[in-house]
Amino acid sequence: MEERIITCINCPMGCRVTVRLENGTVTQVSGNTCKRGESYARQEVVEPLRMVTAVVPVEGSVLPLSVKTAAPIPKALIADCMRCLSGLSVQPPIAAGSVVVANICGTGVDVIATRSVAAVSA
Amino acid sequence: MIEIKRDIVIIGGGPAGLAAAIAAREAGITSLTVLEREAEPGGILRQCIHNGFGLHRFGEEMTGPEYAQRDIDKAREMGIEILCDTTVLSVEADHTATCVSPAHGLTVYHAGAVILAMGCRERPRGALGTPGTRCAGIYTAGSAQKFINLESLMPGRRVVILGSGDIGLIMARRMTLQGAKVLACVELMPYSSGLNRNIVQCLEDYGIPLYLSHTVTNVEGRERLTGVTVAKVDEHRRPVPGTEIHFDCDTLLLSVGLIPENELSKGAGVTLSPTTSGAVVDDSLQTSVPGIFACGNVLHVHDLVDFVSDESFRAGKMAAAYVRGSLAAGAELPVRDGPGVRGVVPQKLRLPVEEEVRLMFRPDAVYKNATVVVTAGETVLARKRSLILTPGEMAVIPLKPQEIPSCDGLTVHIERGNN
């Protein structure tokens, strides 16, 4: 049996939630004040997920392009995701919401632009 | 010099200014200009590339640029004039705003009403009295954020962060993801003022230690920062000898508080509150100078942009009413801070109370299972229970339209729970 303590992030209460695991399966959750705490702690011990946001250089501009993963990805893949983005640069025009990297690190999640960049006027 | 007449002039094109402009336009004001110092509207949101914005207002989690773009698009759709690269030099009590821009030179606006929406600035090193040399490599967290996210520059490689406010936490993660080594986050108080979410996702996720009840006691380096000394503080926040830890680092980021940016307001003769450092306003968000309104972080520092937008919509609507002469001016009652409460906004209430007023403030400490109470003399006007109240999160208590008994003012206080 394994026991892990998770700080809930859903509100300023910051409940210390204790999760009991048997062979990788959650058997008991305690210490949470509300349901959100329970579902967060369950997810967090099994597979923690995070949104990743970053910037990517834009050719011909000092102002980089801000990007995000379209959905949270496994926390363990954040470093890989950043490495994949670090070699990249993009060419305007770019529309907000357009895909910058499809299926990043095999997560099934796209990295998308969070702002638009106008075409460079000649 | 050009002179221009407008019904409403809005100083600042960040989330507050944009929301105020949209609301004023919706209220039928077409003669309206937003003056923005930067090259693009959007304010601080432009550099806040992380997510977590918009949950209250749009029911979805957005990044800063995405949130700003919604308002920018709406304002443009409505034909609202936003002048960028335009710095306002002064605002007068007679609603004159003088500004300069490369495109138009010196311009003087004569407005029916002025909305102050200049936001806030970070508390700088000079305000801290940190000892040591005056070397390069010391930045406010927001400046570092601007360097990385808007100018593609990396401020340093080995970093210590002083202050655990949300911007400092966000920058701990940002610097780490960009390849820097963040050695420590140092907080003077025994608790962090940042969100739990940021403590977990910006520090713990990357194994960055948080030193509570610690501060920076020395800064070393001739040209560039080479190291800082951190020490534990006692209950009077004085460094405890013998507890010093030395960090070799080239960068010190400061995340030690935000101050409303009220230089222009002072020039206009607007009365400021010593508690919020923002204007004293009534429930229409009108300052002590008739026809000058204030909203967003220039009024009081918010935690959530959603609340900034909400407040600013109201300011825009009320300024429009003022211009049309339909803003009711009646008797006013002061709203005071009671035990546990700091910096209630608005500080004045116009009578009668005909629509719901949201009273906002910061608790002076952490309270669990406490109740916020609004009283007029002996009469209780509103009560609201909360599982938790913390200084890091603005508290709100709505006051319903109601008869206010004769009294010399309202008081908001926190009633402790049994925990």
B242 and B145 in a common domain: yes
What pLDDT does A37 receive?
A: 92
Q: Give all strands (DSSP E) within B17-63, no chain letters.
A: 32-35, 51-53, 62-63
High-pLDDT (> 70) share of chain B, %: 100
Residue B61, min C-alpha distance to chain A (Å): 10
What pLDDT does B406 receive?
A: 87
Q: How is B390-401 classified by DSSP, letter by letter?
A: -TTS-EEEEE-S
Domain boundary among B312, B329, B346: B329
Which of B49, B176, B204, B419 to substitute to test the interface with A, most A CBs within 10 Å? B49
Tell me which residues of chain A, numbers 24 to 83, contact chain B at a CB-CB cutoff of 8 Å.
33, 50-55, 57, 62-64, 66, 68, 75, 78, 82
* Complete domains list, chain A, with CATH: 2-46 (2.20.25), 53-113 (3.10.530.10)
B209 and B174 in a common domain: yes
B236 and B382 in a common domain: no
What pLDDT does B242 receive?
A: 97
What is the three-class DSSP state of B272?
Answer: strand
A9: alpha, beta or left? (left if phi > 0; alpha if psi -120 to 50): alpha
CATH number at residue B281: 3.50.50.60
Residue B4, pLDDT above cutoff 90: yes
Query: Can you read off the two tokens belonging to residue B156?
Result: 């340093």
Instruction: Identify the CA nearest to A97 among candidates B70, B159, B147.
Output: B70
Quote helix, strand, coil % in chain B, to nearest 5. Answer: 25, 35, 40
Residue A23, min C-alpha distance to chain B (Å): 24
Q: Which residues of B119-146 are buried (b: 16+ CB within 10 A; e: fewer)?
A: bbbbbebeebebebeebebbbbbbbbbb
pLDDT-flagged residues of chain A (< 50): none
Is B205 within 8 Å of A50 when comparing Cβ atoms?
yes
B177: alpha, beta or left? (left if phi > 0; alpha if psi -120 to 50): alpha
In tens, the pLDDT along B130-175 reads 888 889 999 999 999 999 999 999 999 999 999 999 999 999 999 9
Name the domain count of chain B: 3
In tens, the pLDDT along A81-90 reads 999 999 899 9
B244 and B128 in a common domain: yes
Q: How confident is the model at residue B210 (pLDDT cuts 50, 70, 90)?
A: very high
What is the three-class DSSP state of B313?
Answer: helix
- Say yes or no: B65 contacts chain A, CB-CB below 8 A: yes
Residue B218, pLDDT above cutoff 80: yes
CATH number at residue B353: 2.60.40
B210 and B136 in a common domain: yes
B235 and B134 in a common domain: yes
B16 and B98 in a common domain: yes
What pLDDT does B127 receive?
A: 77
Domain boundary among B266, B297, B329: B329
CB nearest to B152's CB, from A53, A57, A96: A57
Angle between helices B64-77 and B305-323 (to 10 degrees): 20
Residue range of the domain that includes B191: 124-256
What pLDDT does A49 receive?
A: 95
B141 and B103 in a common domain: no
Secondary structure of chain A in the HEC alphabet? CEEEEEECCCCCCCCEEEEEEECCEEEEEECCCCHHHHHHHHHHHHCCEECCEEEECECCCCCCEEEEECCCEEHHHHHHHHHHHHCCCECCCECCCCEEECCHHHCCCCEEECCCECCCCC
Domain boundary among B240, B256, B272: B256
Q: Dihedral of CA A15/A21/A26/A28: which sign?
A: negative
Determine which helix (DSSP H) or strand (DSSP E) holds B85, and give its type and residue range. Answer: none
Specify burial of residue B406 (Cβ count, 10 A radius: 0-12, 13-18, 19+): exposed
Average pLDDT over residues B323-339: 92
B195 and B136 in a common domain: yes
* Ordered alpha helix ranges (H), B27-140: 55-58, 64-77
B130 and B239 in a common domain: yes
B248 and B133 in a common domain: yes
Q: Which residues pair with A3 in a beta bridge?
A: A20
Name the DSSP letter for residue B56: H
B387 and B243 in a common domain: no
What is the three-class DSSP state of B417?
Answer: coil
Residue B196, pLDDT above cutoff 90: no
